[in-house]
């Protein structure tokens, strides 16, 4: 993971309670550009997904929330309301994204609910089990499949299923939320590390195919490394999951001609990955 270029390091501490003044770190023009656009967020019931729902709803976007647990999605709606944000722009689409039939059904609901989907954030993920210290040597076949299905197969199938609807507009924005684990070989986390490295390649490879398949669409499909924050999946961190929001919104609101097939960190760094060169233009 190389840090060669970066936007100004994100020093603003995002406080959703002050969203009307901070605009989650966006310029007013970028903020206003999100209004009335439609977005789908996976893993929207907790962590980064919940934070992104709050931010997009505050901007006046139409937000589709997907996750396995309807109760968690409803808790996200309560957080939206807590900050004085109208919740009518939020639409619950409960689904288990490891089930292809549920993905198809969710996409059908969305395609009938909006003329085109502008943005997709593939955020849902599973960690390794904490009670297996050597998961590559001792973990079960089922545990391996569970992580790969959630972290790699599901975002692939969801993106390819919904993208034709996204392509009905002249611009589309897709984020694959990855992790520094995709560049790591940390013992005890092997399956998760591998899944995130695969997700990185999926994001870049899918970006290349969509760019060629839809030449009339301004495709901006990128990978965003979330960094460390306290979420349901990572109870050991004291970071703020809202720290991902500014960089995510910068990418989702980027005007025509922006990055595609690139890698970024939530703290503002531009990253490389295998043969993918670092983005060489300013984002803001």
Give the confidence band of 9 by pLDDT, cuts at 50, 70, 90.
low
Does the structure show a pLDDT above 80 at 233?
no
Name residue, tokens 């089990």: 129
**Token pair for residue 6?**
């970066």
Architecture per CATH, domain 30-271, reads as 3-Layer(aba) Sandwich (3.40)
The pTM for the full model equals 0.92
Helix axis angle for 47-58 and 245-252, nearest 10°, is 60
Give the start-end residues of each E strand in 96-201: 119-122, 171-178
Q: What is the per-residue pLDDT for 239?
A: 74
Does the structure show a pLDDT above 50 at 4?
no
Q: What is the per-residue pLDDT for 69?
A: 97
Q: What is the per-residue pLDDT for 17?
A: 94
For the ranges 85-94, 122-131, 226-235, the one whose mean pLDDT is highest: 85-94
Give every CB contact of residue 136 below 8 A, 6+ residues apart in sequence. Answer: 190, 191
Q: What is the β-pairing status of strands 269-271 and 119-122?
A: unpaired
Domain ranges of the chain: 30-271
Distances in Å between the Cα of 24 and the Cα atoms of 18, 37, 52, 145, 156 are 8, 17, 10, 37, 29
């Amino acid at each position: 993971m190389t840090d060669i270029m970066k936007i100004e390091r994100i020093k603003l501490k995002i406080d959703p309670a002050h969203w009307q003044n901070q605009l989650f770190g966006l310029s007013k023009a970028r903020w206003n550009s999100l209004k009335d656009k439609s977005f789908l967020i996976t893993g929207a019931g907790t962590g980064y997904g919940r934070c992104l729902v709050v931010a997009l709803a505050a901007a006046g976007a139409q937000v589709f929330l997907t996750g396995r647990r309807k109760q968690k999605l409803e808790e996200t709606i309560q957080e939206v309301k807590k900050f004085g944000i109208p919740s009518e722009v939020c639409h619950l689409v409960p689904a288990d994204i490891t089930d292809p039939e549920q993905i198809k059904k969710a996409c059908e609901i969305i395609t009938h609910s909006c003329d085109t989907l502008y943005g997709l954030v593939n955020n849902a993920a599973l960690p390794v089990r904490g009670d297996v210290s050597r998961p590559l040597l001792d973990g079960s076949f089922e545990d391996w499949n569970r992580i790969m299905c959630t972290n790699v197969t599901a975002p692939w199938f969801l993106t390819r299923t919904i993208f034709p609807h996204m392509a009905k507009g002249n611009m589309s924005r897709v984020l694959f939320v990855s992790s520094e684990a995709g560049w790591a070989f940390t013992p005890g986390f092997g399956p998760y590390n591998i899944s995130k490295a695969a997700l990185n390649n999926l994001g870049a490879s899918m970006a290349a195919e969509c760019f060629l398949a839809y030449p009339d669409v301004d495709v901006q499909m990128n990978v965003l490394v979330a960094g460390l924050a306290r979420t349901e999946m990572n109870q050991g961190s004291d970071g703020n999951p809202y720290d991902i929001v500014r960089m995510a919104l910068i990418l989702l609101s980027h005007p025509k001609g922006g990055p595609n097939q690139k890698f970024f960190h939530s703290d503002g760094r531009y990253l490389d990955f295998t043969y993918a060169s670092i983005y060489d233009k300013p984002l803001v």
